[in-house]
Amino acid sequence: MSKLLVEEKKIVLPGEVIAEGMDFLPGKGAFREGDNLVSSKLGLLNMNGRVVHIIPLSGRYVPKRDDVVIGYVKDMSYSSWFVDVGYAYEASLSLKDATADFIERGSSLSDYFAVGEVILTRISNVTREGNIDLTMKAPGLRKLQGGKIVDITPSKIPRVVGKQGSMISLIKDKTGCTIFAGQNGRVWIRGSSPEAEKLATDAILLIEEHSHTSGLTDRVAAFLEQHAMEIKK
Amino acid sequence: MISREYIESLITQHTRVDGRKFDEYRKIEIEYGISAKSAEGSARVKIGNTEVVAGVKMELGTPFPDKPDEGSIMVNVELLPLSSPFFESGPPSIDAIELSRVTDRGIRESKALDFKKLCVRKGEKVWLLFIDIYPINTDGNLFDACNLVALAAIRDAVFPKIVDDKIDYHEKTKTKVPLTKLPLACTVWKVGDTFLVDPSEAEERAANARLSVVFTEDGKICAMQKGGDFPLTEEEIMEAVHLAEKKTKELRRHFT
Amino acid sequence: MKYSKRNDGRKFDECRPMKAEVGVVKNAIGSAKFQIGKTVAVAAVYGPKDLFPKFLQKPNTARLRCNYNMMAFSGSGERVRPGTNRRSKEISMVVEKAFEPVLDLSEFPKAVVDVYIELIQTDAGTRCAGICAASLALADAGFDMKDLVCAVSCGLVGDQVVVDLDKSEEDFEGGAVDIPIAVLPRTGEITLLQLDGEISKEDLHKAIQQGKAACQKIYAVQQAALRAKYGQEAKQ
């Protein structure tokens, strides 16, 4: 008889036996040990048919192809930029993937992206050795000027964005801020006033703190409503 | 990550990242006896997200020849990589040495400790106080945090028992270490053209200059240290001193 | 020599009171405090990040680097001189080995993960408290781990097998044997074992059995601490 020992959406800890029997299959964050399925991560149990996944609640960003991320330009060579995307190693953005412009031989790369600048970019390739390639060739990818960046746990970014972008739209509407959420846990915010930016920041931190409660959208809406009044005063 | 430009732009709009006033400290908490089993005195200080611990260990040593009837102190700050991604393992960095020395001077020069009462036998045996300070989480303003935690740990300290000229560390006496003054530090930071106190890590990175000023309760200045890459004018120095005086008066409330 | 009653009145197979808290160092990606009796350890995890010099890099996984340190005021006698020494280096190494069988860092090839363990107050059993804290910190950091790691010292005080020796027991005039062990709670496998003293095979076996049983109690404290930080998110 196969049996699930932990309810769906409940917290599991590393090493915890989450299911008995052969009817369940280990997905991400789980492994088989004899007749049992065991969790290898701190996270929430999630079922997908017979496959048991553990959705992490913490942890560093692990780059995946096609992720849109926010990066800091750290360094450059003759033909590429090195960008911190929150992984152990810097990612690289080559000249041909950075711009459609014709760049003359020997011109300075800092005319395009200078060290210290912030870019919204996409991961075009990840090798098993941890080499990451970036591209700027997709709609919306660009340099992010001004504003601030809030760091949150990368696994919570989907909640900040919400279904079809509902949550992030709510925050944008109520605060009037421009917001980009990178899959790597960095959220860029720029608004018309420091107060508006602080309100958007607080809303995002509220989502991070309560990311796995239900009724989160209502809670955030109420929070924004209440404080948006204060800003107007 | 909060950039220098962002912090500077907020300053021109008269605000800070967390909405504080320029002369406003984060919440300060002091806890005593956090290593009571091991140290002769110990304390923890939290200023917002910055947390430091300190302990006092006492040893018997010989006095300096020019001060045969006085004991001594030694302050040591170690910037633990446990407390910040910006600190690295290895020998003390110059930042750690500066913090140690500024904290040491504030206590030593104000004669906050009655060094004569640390004498056991003139010319032969005196008490040496080792005050070791460690950040647990670093988010700015270590200068003021180290000063507060050093004083709190000394305030908590009692003499161990001496048996046959040796210290019995397992037997504490009821005699408090003679802390007679409270030289409190306030470090004023110049960001853009504005002075502020109690910066976060990001605000420290955006600062051009800083001035630590240590005040005793009778309004005397007993130690100062200017830091940062930019100069300060005479007027600015006096403005910073004035602000530090006001803030150290407020900080004093945490010790009543 | 006979040891018929423990100095603090505990049962021979009883641990001192324990307390654990997760997330105590905000700057770290994972952190925890673990207290057993009067021994207090804090652990924080940083990384994964670039590892230099390059020859230390592992091509398929990250390297785990532990750093055990006693704060200068945390010893039971004189001040501990700051900086690393042979003792702290050896402990750091055996702590690394205690995690090696459970920690999977293959998502981060060539990188390094740093675990810093600091002792704020000590009353024996420091490396074990450090392992308990580090285990929580690594789980908090979200790394793949086949199990938590629990650790306790067991051994002999006089003629009596005991667990979780305090300093007064380690210093017992009739002699003491200190056996720190680290245990994987699900499988019962042992990932750290050291022994300091003189003991019979029979007493060793009994001590390890009692130590393993004690680790189950430590495990419960660790689980509760992780749930206290993350648990509330599952409710409602």
Question: Across residues C56-84, what is the average pLDDT?
Answer: 94
- Whether C102 has its CB under 8 Å from any CB of chain A: the answer is yes
Across C64-68, average pLDDT:
97
Residues 193 through 222 of chain A touching chain C, CB cutoff 8 Å: 210-215
Q: What is the ipTM of this complex?
A: 0.95
Q: According to the model, what pLDDT value does residue A107 have? A: 74
Q: Please say if the pLDDT value at position B53 is more than 90.
A: yes
Which pTM value belongs to this model?
Answer: 0.95
The pLDDT assigned to A128 comes to: 83
Angle at B84 between CA B152 and CA C18, to 5 degrees: 65
> Does CATH number 3.40.50.720 belong to domain A68-144?
no
Q: Which of A116, A148, A186 comes nearest B6 by C-beta?
A: A148
Domain that holds residue B225: 4-255
Q: With CB atoms and an 8 Å threshold, state whether A89 touches C62.
A: no
- pLDDT value at residue A211: 85
Instruction: Render pLDDT for A86-105 as a digit per residue (tens, 0 to 9).
Output: 999 999 999 889 887 777 77
Residue-wise pLDDT for C122-163, tens only, equals 999 999 999 999 999 999 999 999 999 999 999 999 999 999
Question: How many independent structural domains does chain B possess?
Answer: 1
Determine contact: A40 vs chain C, CB below 8 A: yes
* Domain A3-56 shares a fold with domain A148-232: no
The minimal CB distance from B39 to the residues C24, C46, C73 is found for C73
**Is A59–C143 a contact, with Cβ atoms under 8 angstroms apart?**
yes
Q: Do B130 and C74 touch (CB under 8 A)?
A: no
- Inside any domain, residue C233: no
Q: Please give the C-alpha separations between residue A67 and each of A38, A181, B48, in angstroms, as whole numbers.
A: 29, 11, 35
Which residues of A touch chain B, with CB atoms under 8 Å apart? 72, 116, 118, 146-149, 151, 186, 193-195, 198
Residue of A nearest to C230 (CA): A11
In a domain, C145, yes or no: yes
pLDDT value at residue C236: 37
For residue B201, give the chain C residue with the closest CA: C27
Mean pLDDT of C86-110: 96
Which chain A positions have a beta carbon within 8 Å of B13's beta carbon?
A: 193-194
pLDDT of residue C235: 43
Residue B207 DSSP SS3: coil
What CATH number should be reported for the domain whose range is A148-232?
3.30.1370.10
**A151 chain-B contacts, CB cut-off 8 A:** 1
Q: Which of A142-146, C140-144, C228-232 has the lowest mean pLDDT?
A: C228-232
| All chains having 3 or more CB pairs closer than 8 angstroms to chain B | A, C
Q: What is the CATH number of the domain that holds B136?
A: 3.30.230.70
Report the residue of chain A nearest B12, measured CA to CA: A194
**Domain for residue C5, yes or no?**
no
Interface residues of chain B, partner chain C, Cβ below 8 Å: 34-39, 42, 49, 53-57, 59, 76, 78, 80-85, 89, 91, 130, 132, 134, 136-139, 167, 169-170
Domain spans, chain A: 3-56, 68-144, 148-232
> Over 60: is that where the pLDDT of A6 sits?
yes
Domain A3-56, CATH among 2.40.50.140, 3.40.50.10540, 3.30.70.20, 2.40.50.100: 2.40.50.100
Among residues 25-64 of chain C, which lie with CB inside 8 Å of chain B? Answer: 25-28, 38, 40, 42-44, 46
| Residue located via tokens 């409940």 | A10
Query: Helix, strand, or coil here: C23?
Result: coil
Cβ–Cβ of A72/B17 closer than 8 Å? Answer: no
What pLDDT does A232 receive? 60
Q: What's the CATH code of the domain at C38? A: 3.30.230.70
- The domain total for chain C is 1
Q: Extract the tokens encoding C74.
A: 């945390």
Longest dimension (CA), chain A: 69
B13 touching A (Cβ < 8 Å): yes
Closest by Cβ to A15, choosing from C143, C148, C227: C148
Interval B90-109: pLDDT, tens = 899 999 999 999 999 999 99
pLDDT digits (tens, 9 = 90+) for B229-254: 999 999 999 999 999 999 999 999 99
Inter-chain touch C140–A129, beta carbons under 8 Å? no
Q: Are A169 and A135 in contact (CB under 8 A)?
A: no
Size of interface B-C (CB pairs under 8 A): 94
Backbone angles phi, psi at A204, to 5 degrees: -65, -40
Which residues does chain A have within 8 Å of residue B17's beta carbon, measured at their own beta carbons? 148, 198
Q: What is the pLDDT of residue A85?
A: 96
C100 lies in some domain: yes
Range of the domain at C189: 18-228
Measured between beta carbons, the chain B residues lying within 8 angstroms of A149 are 1-3
pLDDT at position A231 is 67
The subunits that touch chain A, with at least 3 C-beta pairs less than 8 Å apart, are B, C
Using a CB-CB cut-off of 8 Å, the residues of chain B touching C114 are 81
